[in-house]
Amino acid sequence: MKHILLLFIIFHTSLAALFAQVRVTVQAPSQVEEGRNVRVSYIVNTTDVDDIQVGDFPGFELLYGPSTSTQRNVSIVNGKVSNSSQVMFTYTLQARKPGTYKLPVATIKSDGQTYKSNQVSIQILEGDAEEDAASGRGSSGHSGARTRDNAAGGATVSASDLYVGASVSKRQVYEQEAVVLTYKLYTRVNISSNYNPESLELDGFHTQEIELPMQKELKVERVNGRNYQTTVLSQHVLFPQKTGKVTIPSRKFEFEAIVQNPNVDPFDAFFGGGALQTRIPKTVVAPAIELQVEPLPSRPANFSGAVGTQFNISGALTPEQVDANDAVSLRLTVNGVGNMKLMKAPAVQWPKDFESYDPKTNDKTRIGANGASGNVVYDYTAVPRHGGKYSIPSVEFCYFDTQSKSYRMLRTDSFHVAVAKTAGHRVGRSVNQEDLTVLNSDIRYIKTSPANVKPAGATFFGAPAYWLSYVGPFALFLLLIAIFERQAKANADIARRRGKKAGKAASKRLKSAAKLLKQGNARAFYEEVTRALWGYVGDKLNLPVAELSKDNVGERLAERGVSEESNRRFLQVLGDCEFAQYAPGDPSATMDRLYADATEVINLIENG
């Protein structure tokens, strides 16, 4: 017994050691521009770290580090307490030489054991000398928002500084073949996170939008010798519905560029003499694209309308033995990649003695770069009315294969079902007479119980039921009015309580942001402050955040009696927070100031 207990303890100790394995991971961007500053963090999933050794950073100059930050979390789920902790060692580097470099592997010691990190690479893109000269960025790592036009005295944004490219996956396609349309942003200036695209209206296409992450990630790309911050704004899968030359029209995008104000001296701005940055509305037009859509070859009679690749079909009939007048189910599953949402349900040839119904369709596809992929399930139901053994022919599925440029025919196996005769079922003597099934609802027995009859001359007028038919609806109407009034008062109370608690809710969010500020987690910090600001104004106005925008929040706050100065400060802090979150460069530069500004403006509105 002691040996078993000892083995049990050793086993669980080994499991605990396995799950508590120390891991060292590297957090770093995949690209950086020459002359820019970048942060590289080595994260250890324990705070019990005795020492860390990191080699040289080829291609980079070490500016500062390592700075150390720790984080501890305690969670309670169903009464079970779990603890987690980590320590982060962060190095601030400056990219010096273009190329792709592997970051050094970090070696740490914890509890007498040695652990090593994974290895990642960073690509240093060649710097834009023209931008450096115009903006005076040098080695400071400035965002380079000033352009040559700005330096000349006018804060403008040229077409080469901010534009949207439109591209398609292929320009010559077949009718119904999937085409991916991509709109991509290229910018050399900072822009607001909010942009307004023109609605996409395409004639001659069936369109489905590919879902992209809400958080846009900017990447550096070099185009014609210049570096741009790029991100995909939207992607759409198009299925051409007509042949010939088809044009995807140009599309407008409204942006708000944030550039340096060349007419304001930084010294004057520090003492309230103007803003160093100015916002410029910019309308960008993505170019039109022309496609050549070829017609499908002569279509077979049983063509399903499916166009794509990798199609297959399978089927299953249940049950295979059934009584007459009981239902059988045939499930057909079509898999493939293409215009899955536009194809027709396969035709099933049921025996003549079966009563069939239209199929139910269950769409399990997802939209991707090749169109809709996945499977569509068709459930057919039929009821056999007579006994016997029946065969259901194999189901055919014909589609156009875009790879082989030909039609392909798929078939399932045939299906068999044995139908048993039920009680009340008889066979007619005539050769041409079909079997007749007597159902429960066909013939009723003659009732022998006394009938509910009324005496002659009795009328409904003046009877109690007559007066009840008038009084009842009127009483119900009064009851509904009382219920609606009570509900309206309850809703008003909820809105009032939500508005009063808006400041407390925002304070909780700002406390979470303060923790992220101490940890140096800039991205998460700005997201939390942005949520705090939008959440506060949503609670204050008793409106969902989705219905709020920078255009209408000022009007709504003014209607609640908030001063014009408080309105202006709130919108300015919100814009600065979004700008700092998405702007290129070091996102942690203004964390302390924005935290103080957010706290101040919320208190200003609350006490105003």
The H or E element spanning position 390 is strand 388-392
Partners of 147 in beta bridges: none
Q: Please indicate whether the domains covering 22-126 and 499-607 agree at the CATH topology level.
A: no
- β pairing state of 388-392 and 277-286: unpaired
As a whole number of angstroms, the distance between CA 362 and CA 129 comes to 57
The H or E element spanning position 9 is helix 2-19
As a whole number of angstroms, the distance between CA 556 and CA 549 comes to 10
As a whole number of angstroms, the distance between CA 593 and CA 603 comes to 15
Q: Hey, what CATH topology would domain 311-420 get?
A: Immunoglobulin-like (2.60.40)
- β pairing state of 396-401 and 303-318: parallel
Only one residue has tokens 């991100």, namely 231
- β pairing state of 371-384 and 190-191: unpaired
Q: Which residues of 287-312 are buried (b: 16+ CB within 10 A; e: fewer)?
A: eebebebeebeeeeeebbebbbbebe
As a whole number of angstroms, the distance between CA 440 and CA 86 comes to 73
Please report the pLDDT score of residue 140 as a whole number.
32
Domain spans of the chain, in order of start: 22-126, 130-294, 311-420, 499-607
Q: Could you give the strand order of the β-sheet that contains 99-102, starting from the edge strand earlier in sequence?
A: 31-33, 121-125, 99-102
As a whole number of angstroms, the distance between CA 373 and CA 376 comes to 9
* Alpha-helical segments (H) within 194-295: 266-270
Please report the pLDDT score of residue 70 as a whole number.
86
As a whole number of angstroms, the distance between CA 319 and CA 392 comes to 13
Token pair of 476 as six digits = 């119900």
Q: Which residues of 242-277 are buried (b: 16+ CB within 10 A; e: fewer)?
A: eeeebebeebebebbbbbbbbebeeeeeeeeeeeeb
As a whole number of angstroms, the distance between CA 422 and CA 11 comes to 62
Q: Hey, what CATH topology would domain 22-126 get?
A: Immunoglobulin-like (2.60.40)
Q: Which residues of the chain have pLDDT under 70?
A: 1-20, 75-82, 129-155, 262-276, 423-463, 488-502, 543, 545-547, 551, 581-589, 608
- Spelled out in words, what is the top-level CATH class assigned to the domain 130-294? mainly beta
Tens of pLDDT, residues 196-219: 999 998 988 999 999 888 878 888
Q: Hey, what CATH topology would domain 499-607 get?
A: Four Helix Bundle (Hemerythrin (Met), subunit A) (1.20.120)
Residue 282, CB half-sphere, CA atoms under 13 Å: how many? 28
As a whole number of angstroms, the distance between CA 429 and CA 566 comes to 94
As a whole number of angstroms, the distance between CA 559 and CA 20 comes to 56
Phi and psi angles of residue 212, each rounded to the nearest 5 degrees, phi first: -115, 160
Judge contact between 117 and 25, C-beta under 8 A.
yes
